[in-house]
Structure 1
């Protein structure tokens, strides 16, 4: 009978299609991730380009303003010597400052670098020759700019521009200066129409922060590193692009550029765009793209699944139902309906296969009936054979029992009848000895007495061999030790016997069988082995419910395999009788022998089986 297949959780077609759709989405997701990563790099690059563009606008505006300051100071210097020493010099500078709202102060230094007059005015004569921009202007004879300073006259933070003046002989005659307000750097950027997406920081020529834009916003860095200023100076008019981290840990895409005057960098402009804002915009764009792609894919999969459900899954379900019904009924007249050619061909194949299976099923049914009938017949034969074997085993046991009883009877008869009569005859011969007339008669009498004594001894030995009386009065161990002493001591063989784990009283068939095994084994040793040492071991077996007997000798051994089937006067014949005795009691018998290496006989007799056989055997 065919076994049902094991129940396994098999996915449905719809589940498989869903899994295929998800697998198909994996490359799309991977492509979107890769594209998003490249888009991230592009967005950061665009942010850098945007920062560059804005810082270029800011530096261009500042550069333009510096040029305008230089032209203004050159114009003032050309006519200043005439009125710079006049009493209304301060008023004139003050009037001019009122028109120039981006400056904090305007003034004139004489040849000794002492403030002669200024728009702010000063009651004291202030010496400013220690200012770096003054020394540079005198040394280079060009307009110079200072770092962010606090004006000594105006008291405001500003950058000072100095324009040196010389006479016809080239001697230094004084310096026209203008103090540019720090907050007007933002106005310069707005004037340049730079976009306000970036955060700006303005630094003087020493890297000190001037101002920020939007005004009041925290700067990206408080002071420019010397290395950054050096690299910005080396890049010329090309802004230095990089990533800068502010004091709060925020990262910014920055562009740094220098604003140049006649003697080198005057100031530095840094435009920064927060990287988080760029990445947030990038994330939003990626999420929107993901949502659009996923929605499109899900809609496409849903539409594809609907078509597959309509055109494929229904046909497959119809095929499954058709196959299930076809497996339990005749399908000769069933109509075949399918929406696809493949499904129809499959159903036609199912019909043909089902018809062939139904024919085979009928044949198998007939064969099954015949097999059942044969099994019944074989079972009856087996029962009869088992019964016959049981009867044969019973008869064999009864035969062995009868043989032992007959041996016992013969032994008793030999001992009681022949033994006593021979003893009486021996006594009679002893009584006749004094009456013998001459030497010849005495010689005949002596021979007769010797023959009678030998006969008495032989009858006693025959009686003991037929039924050892020790088995009726002593345990098995005592009987075996007497047997060994009787058979081996006279032959001059060394012997050892280990006896352990055996009950004092054993079932009679078991004790007799063990005794006969040892008796036959010793006989074989004396007749064939040519041994000098024999070892016998009797124990309770591995589990204590058996009688295990092992007999070893160091004799010449023999080829046991060649003697198994022989029925002649050889060790094989005696061993065969020993094996039959053991198997009658349900035991095991093994012989191990190799020519020149001695012989080992191993027998295991179950004590319980022997007890049952004792109950079943008739009493003797």
Structure 2
């Protein structure tokens, strides 16, 4: 046993094990640092989402106050015309889906008007928001409870309606539908990390908001992690790890803030399963440890098995040979095959020493002759070499190689001599190498330039640029002279450039997706926020116009009302141009028909839309990019074509969706327009091509000056989502 642990084989194995320890320690340290960064990023994201949620709540309450104030001052409410008031409430209710109901309550608590139909008399005198509105004579917010008219759990906000004398004659109210807000708050959902859950609860543990929306309705229900509620309430702010009701280890970052909607504090909780948060660091750690283990294991096995045949066995044979030779037995031989490695060369030298003393003189003369030939070859190689220089015979056997072979391919020069040059070629390049050598041998004095892949001593692939010359008929050389340089780094740079282009394409696709999401968000904000404010202004102007005490201001009020109507229409048009809701709700075909008809009507064109039916809705990415290409093409027709008619055709064929936009206008020179687009004069052409390409399709222009034009784009019917290659895209 002591001999085993003190032998050469054990020392080699121990060296491999010790060499594997630093990579293991480094891998574990990197994984720990990656986890710390992930945790810090999660906490920062939680704070950002808390601020965002608070801002959205303030905006929602301010918008509701503005709407209730306008309703309270409306002519229908001031004159207590409850039938007309109901029509007004239903109109507003249809425009603002965030509310579960809108209504008016008399001072005795009876609901006199409601956006939702009343089947019988409903009295809300006991509701806190009604009592607070009467007491404070200002906006009041009630408790979170089930509405008696809507049947939904909601927050009720009330605002008093004053008579000219200052007496309260009624209370207008709006019920905030938290379920709708929970589904439509895209700003908070876009900030949510992948795999995470955002929950807002009150001091009793009731869920007020939950993102993403679960399959089972949880808003208004108790927090599933009730065991942690006392911890959340006691610590107010913090970060902890606990096991959820499903037995999964989860990280919780919680923050306590004040809210105008509930009494006491609300607690915002950002939770992420440990497995999700640390997925990337764990994957990298396991991959690195596995790689280190595999390499170490292979080296151990090869070292243990190979040491017997490559080291121990030759050494033992040499020991036996020297013992017999020392005893005077000149017939002794090592009995090992002669090869080109160091130990085999040593055994060969001993064998030659024992049998070749009488040949010294002849070998000396032969050595002198070989030295002279070697000097002549070296002189010729110096004149023709660039980096690595060598000589082969007509069959590819290596006769000479320069010493820098070791630095380029890792082989000893002595190991390469006598071997075939084809032993070092990459398997896929072997047929071409054989063919090129045969061509070179046939053409005396000719030269070839090629690029090949060679196998490094460590098994890796190296790219080389080779220059080969036929000097078989030159008595000073008598072979094929080749010179080559290592161009692996250049090839790697070219590969990295290709990868960078692929990354740029993925980033461009992501940019388009973010752009469309932002368009959708801006369109919704224009409709909900600015549209609401303009609606309130319009209601106020109508109320003033119908008031008996306008003292000659009627024409000005009517003019102001027309301006507000015109601005509302412009806001509506801007919202549709940013992101037509028809594209999301009804699909590509309906959106194209609508937009083509709209543009044709504005420009006075005759329009025709032909669309073959699709089996099912396409991926939103394909629908969006196809619509944007058609939108840009139609815009170009309106601005530049001077056309009388325009035709749009949509047809699926061969696994692709084809779009054609044709006009009978003045046409254009495709090459000239492309050149202008490259110089930045017009980005529409490049924009259409880029959108089609990013969606996995293509775009083609067919146009001749004076003969109209055609834009043909095609997209895949099934969209393959791109993969993000680096952690930060």
Confirm or deny a common fold (TM above 0.5). Answer: no
| TM-score class, shorter | 0.3 to 0.5
Larger RCO (alpha carbons 8 Å, 6+ apart): 1
TM-score by length of 2: 0.37
TM-score by length of 1: 0.43
